[in-house]
């Protein structure tokens, strides 16, 4: 067996040979001529000259050997339903969806926006898009009209695929009215909307624009839609993520590099085999959902579980009952979900046989040691943290269990993964910090490995300026996370360097929330910060200055305005972005040059010392915050 150190070294020192080997994990219609073209840094073009198709590799390729094996298990504890699809059945459904999209005019290069709950049709739609060379842009179902409108405007989809409703905790969440409102708000209008009717909520259909999936499916029951072979560098999708500005960025990913990266990750990181079952509890609206609910398990010929529902409903043992029933071998979740389960009766974990599990991977936010220890003691399997980002598409830091199994060290997501030239750099000088245990910005030298973002959708300048120019003096990719590395090469993540916060593993831009709150007629100014939360990791907290503060000295008036602000955020951005509290203050802490001192606010809200405040305009500003929070 190769040691991981040797495996990593080879990926960095002989990248062409390394990735040429990995490229054999997928099918190519034309093999690549060049492994990596990095002639225009920081733009990396992987597997140039190769043509392939993501859907072929995820579905069609398996028909020869495992057509009757289970590919997709869609479970909803919201509608109390379970449906399994073999690879052959998935192949048929994806073709029907692809035929429906083609009937609505979708061609190679067109965008299709998918705003769907966690139902099998969402997977069909994603796979159907890449089958015909169209780009999908999945928008998390928890986002509301304003967020959706911004994404429709940026992606300019020809078609939107949606459904009547999702459901959360037994409560129906209608999607169609939000979608209609978003389309009305957006300057770009999709030419068609394809609707899955689950029979959960009534839908008003716009004649000529809105189409019924059931009807189109029936028309195309036997239509065969061949895979469109695309260049390896052809974009497969865009996925929006928050940054420091109010405008979300469309992370654009290629086809060949992504397929190779995911297939390789399944082998080397997750050690997944055909016939095994992967259960990722995330949502298709997030990158973990794209990579490890949909593409990677299917590329590997495994069965993948899609789950709609809460981890605690109908009872806190529901996930373990799924593990038992489907003999789940690989489970992937987020620390917040485990913290939620930790609050329940521990006996739920003893009720089910979970001995099929090989390991539990957790990602999306810092994994605290006590949570890791608790779930480790309960499951008796390795608990493996993994650190990555929407931008990377697959883990940057973790343990490569398929190369050399290692014991996780709680508190650390692990080591640099093969292909990633991970560095810690001094944020002021750009110098690399090579000695152990020095805090620096976690950065990655180009070229980024296959699978990582190609660019920001239609904005190469933003890609370069945002990610590659934030470290002084050198062109290097910044993750915007602080980190340290110990003498054994294990990294530790110490929080973001920017204004991005992480609530229950969901990445939110504080600017986006601020812009939304500031659109309330009685809000003059607002600062949103992330405050440590024992369950969700962080919670958003808003500090606002009212335009007209008359009457705001009464608690009822404050509560009323706070309620209005929360409603506005729910309506515009979605409940995921709703601040836990909105506090009203007379003035916000700012520097003399007018920059908001978010970090000082955050420190006070967390009961920490705000540090050096000599640049602060009005020292009384923090005093009021202290009094408000009783700090």
The answer to whether 201 and 224 are in contact (CB under 8 A) is no
C-beta of 121 vs 365, nearer to ligand AMP: 365
Question: Based on CB atoms, which residue is closest to ligand AMP, 96 or 511?
Answer: 511
List, edge to edge, every strand of the sheet that includes 70-76.
81-86, 70-76, 303-308, 277-280, 330-333, 359-363, 383-386
Least distance in Å: CB of 356 to ligand AMP?
Answer: 24
Q: How far is the CB of 398 from ligand AMP (least distance, A)?
A: 8
Smaller CB separation from ligand AMP, 280 or 389: 389
Closer CB to ligand AMP, 417 or 585, in the complex: 417
**CA separation for the pair 512, 535 (Å, rounded):** 23
For ligand AMP, the closer of residues 211 and 507 by Cβ is 507
Q: How far apart, in whole angstroms, are the C-alpha atoms of residue 384 and residue 381?
A: 9
Nearer to ligand AMP, 442 or 526 (CB): 442
User: Taking the complex as a whole, how short is the minimal distance between the CB of residue 505 and ligand AMP, in angstroms?
Assistant: 7
Encode 400-416 in three state secondary structure.
Answer: CCCCCCCCCCCCCCEEE
Quote the CA–CA distance of 348 and 319 in Å, as a whole number: 10
Least CB distance to ligand AMP at residue 281 (A): 14
Q: How far is the CB of 365 from ligand AMP (least distance, A)?
A: 5
Q: Which one, 493 or 566, has the nearer CB to ligand AMP? A: 493
Q: How near is the Cβ of 287 to ligand AMP at its closest, in Å?
A: 5
Closer of 216 and 416 to ligand AMP (Cβ):
416
Least CB distance to ligand AMP at residue 388 (A): 6
Q: Are 359 and 382 in contact (CB under 8 A)?
A: yes
Complex with ligand AMP: residue 110 or 481, whichever CB lies closer: 481
Q: Which residues of 353-375 are buried (b: 16+ CB within 10 A; e: fewer)?
A: ebebbebbbbbbbbbbeebbebb
Spell out the residues 6+ positions from residue 535 whose beta carbon is closer than 8 angstroms to its own. 336, 339, 340, 343, 504
> Between 95 and 479, whose beta carbon lies closer to ligand AMP?
479
Q: What size, in residues, is the chain?
A: 631
Smallest distance from the beta carbon of 396 to ligand AMP, in angstroms? 9
Torsion of CA 216, 219, 222, 228, to 10 degrees: -50
Residues that bind ligand AMP (CB under 6 A): 241, 287, 363-367, 385-390, 413, 479, 481, 493, 496, 502, 507
CB of 414 to ligand AMP, least distance (A): 9
DSSP 458: T
Helix (H) or strand (E) holding 570: helix 555-572
Cβ atoms < 10 Å from Cβ of 560: 13
Q: Report the C-alpha gap between 492 and 139 in whole angstroms.
A: 30
Q: What is the token pair recorded at 42? A: 């920081």
C-beta of residue 308 within 8 angstroms of C-beta of residue 198 = no
Q: How far apart are CA 410 and CA 394, in angstroms?
A: 20
Q: Provide, rounded to whole angstroms, the least separation between the CB of residue 574 and ligand AMP.
A: 15
Q: How many CA atoms lie within 13 A of 538 on its CB side?
A: 27
What is the distance between the alpha carbons of residues 297 and 280, in angstroms, rounded to a whole number? 10
């Amino acid at each position: 067996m190769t040691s991981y150190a040797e495996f990593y070294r080879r990926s960095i020192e002989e990248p062409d040979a390394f990735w040429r080997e990995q490229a054999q994990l997928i099918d190519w219609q034309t093999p690549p001529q060049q492994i990596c073209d990095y002639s225009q840094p920081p733009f990396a073009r992987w597997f140039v000259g190769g043509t392939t198709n993501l859907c072929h590799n995820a579905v069609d390729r398996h028909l020869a050997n495992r057509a009757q094996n289970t590919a997709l298990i869609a479970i909803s504890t919201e509608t109390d339903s379970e449906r399994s699809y073999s690879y052959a059945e998935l192949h048929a459904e994806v073709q029907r969806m692809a035929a429906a999209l083609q009937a609505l005019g979708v061609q190679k290069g067109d965008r299709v926006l998918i705003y769907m709950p966690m139902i099998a049709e969402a997977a069909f739609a994603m796979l159907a898009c890449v089958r015909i060379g169209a780009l999908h842009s999945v928008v998390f179902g928890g986002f509301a009209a304003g967020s959706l409108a911004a994404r429709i405007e940026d992606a300019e989809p020809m078609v939107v695929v949606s459904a009547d409703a999702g459901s959360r905790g037994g409560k129906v969440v209608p999607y169609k009215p939000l979608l209609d409102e978003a389309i009305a708000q957006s300057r770009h209008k999709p030419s068609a909307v394809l609707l899955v009717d689950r029979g959960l909520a009534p839908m008003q259909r716009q004649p000529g624009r809105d189409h019924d999936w059931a009807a189109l499916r029936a028309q195309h029951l036997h239509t065969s839609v061949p895979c469109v072979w695309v260049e390896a560098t052809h974009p497969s999708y865009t996925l929006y993520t928050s940054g420091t500005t109010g405008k979300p960025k469309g992370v654009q990913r290629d086809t060949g590099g992504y397929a190779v990266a995911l297939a390789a990750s399944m082998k080397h990181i997750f050690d997944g085999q055909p016939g095994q079952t992967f259960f990722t509890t995330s949502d298709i609206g997030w990158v973990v959902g794209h990579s490890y609910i949909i593409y990677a398990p299917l590329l590997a010929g495994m069965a993948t579980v899609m789950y709609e529902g809460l981890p605690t409903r109908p009872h806190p043992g529901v996930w373990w009952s799924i593990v038992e029933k489907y003999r789940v071998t690989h489970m992937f979740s987020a620390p917040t979900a485990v913290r939620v389960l930790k609050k329940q009766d521990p006996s739920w974990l003893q009720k089910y046989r979970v001995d099929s599990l090989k390991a539990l991977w957790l990602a999306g936010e810092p994994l605290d040691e006590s949570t890791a220890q608790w779930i480790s003691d309960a499951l008796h399997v390795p608990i493996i943290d993994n650190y990555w980002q929407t931008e990377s598409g697959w883990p940057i830091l973790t343990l490569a269990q398929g190369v050399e199994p290692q014991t996780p060290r709680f508190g650390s997501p692990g080591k640099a993964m093969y292909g990633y030239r991970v560095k810690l750099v001094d944020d002021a000088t750009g110098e690399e910090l090579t000695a152990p245990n020095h805090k620096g910005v976690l950065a990655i030298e180009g070229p980024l490995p296959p699978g990582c973002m190609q660019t920001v959708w239609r904005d190469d300048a933003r890609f370069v300026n945002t990610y590659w120019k934030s470290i002084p003096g050198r062109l290097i990719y910044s993750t915007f996370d602080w980190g340290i590395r110990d003498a054994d090469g294990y990294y530790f993540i110490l929080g973001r360097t920017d204004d991005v916060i992480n609530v229950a593993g969901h990445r939110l831009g504080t600017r986006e929330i601020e812009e939304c709150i500031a659109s309330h007629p009685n809000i003059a100014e607002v600062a949103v910060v992330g405050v440590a939360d024992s369950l969700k990791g962080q919670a958003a907290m808003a500090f606002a200055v009212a335009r007209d503060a008359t009457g705001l000295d009464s608690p009822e008036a404050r509560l009323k305005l706070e309620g209005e602000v929360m409603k506005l955020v729910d309506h515009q951005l979605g409940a995921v972005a709703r601040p836990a509290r909105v506090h009203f203050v007379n003035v916000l802490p700012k520097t003399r040059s007018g920059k908001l001192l978010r970090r000082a606010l955050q420190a006070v809200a967390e009961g920490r010392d705000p540090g050096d405040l000599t640049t602060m305009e009005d020292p009384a500003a923090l005093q009021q915050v202290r009094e408000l929070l009783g700090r």
